[in-house]
Structure 1
Amino acid sequence: MLDKYITPVIKPVLCPVVKKLHGYGITADQLTVVGFLIGMLAVPLLAFEHWYGALAAIALNRIFDGLDGELARYANQCSSAGGYLDITLDFLFYAAIPFGFILADPAQNAIAGALLLATFMGTGSSFLAFAIAAEKFDIEKPQFKYKSFYYLNGLTEGTETIALFIAFCIWPQHFALFATLFAIACTITIFTRIHGGYHTLKRQEDNIQSNIETETNGATDDA
Structure 2
Amino acid sequence: MIDEPFRQWLARRWSAPAVALHRAGITANQVTVVAAMLGVTAAALIAVRLTWFGISLWLVSRLLDGYDGMLARLSGGASLFGGYLDITLDMLAYTTMAIAFAIAMPADAVLWMLVLLGYVLAITTTLALSSLAEKADRQLGGERSIQFTRALAEGGETTVVYVVIALAPSVSRYVLVVWIALLAITVIQRTALARRLLP
Normalising by the residue count of structure 1, what TM-score does the alignment of the two structures yield?
0.84
Counterpart amino acid of 2:118?
Answer: T
State the one-letter code of the partner of 2:55: L
The aligned amino acid for 2:144 is K
Assess if the C-alpha contact under 8 Å between 1:113 and 1:176 holds in 2.
Answer: no
- CA shift, 1:4, in A, is 3.2
SS in 1 for 2:152: coil
Bigger shift: residues 89-98 or 27-36: 89-98
**By how many angstroms is 1:139 displaced?**
2.5
Q: Is the 8 A contact 1:18 1:70 kept in 2?
A: yes
Distance 1:14 1:130 in 2: 32
Correspondence list, 1:39-50, <5 A: 39-50=39-50
Moved over 3 A (4+): none
Structure 2: runs of 5 or more not aligned: none
Q: SS state of the match for residue 83, structure 2?
A: helix
Q: How does 1:89-168 map to 2 (within 5 A)?
A: 89-106=89-106, 108-142=107-141, 144=142, 146-168=143-165
Aligned AA (2:196): H
Give, in angstroms, the shift of residue 56 of structure 1.
Answer: 1.3
| Larger CA Rg, structure 1 vs 2 | 1
Alignment of structure 1 residues 175-190 onto 2, 5 Å: 175-190=172-187
- The alpha carbon displacement at 1:141 in A equals 4.1
Shift of 1:15: 1.7
TM-score (norm 2): 0.94
Deviation, structure 1 residue 46: 0.9
Amino acid at match of 1:169: A
Q: Deviations over 1:146-201 (max 9, x none)?
A: 21121122111122111111112111233222112100111011111111112211
Following the alignment from structure 2 to structure 1, what is the Cα–Cα distance between the partners of residues 184 and 66?
26
Measured at CA, do residues 98 and 173 of structure 1 come closer, stay the same or move farther in structure 2, by a change above 3 Å? farther
The total of aligned residue pairs comes to 199
Q: Distance in 2 between matches of 1:52 and 1:74?
A: 34
SS of the aligned residue for 1:41 comes to: helix
RMSD: 1.4
Partner of residue 217, structure 1 = none
Q: Structure 1: which 5+ runs fail to align?
A: 203-223
Q: Equivalents in 1 of 2:115, 2:74: separation in Å?
A: 36
State the alpha-carbon separation in 2 of the partners of residues 178 and 191 from structure 1. Answer: 20
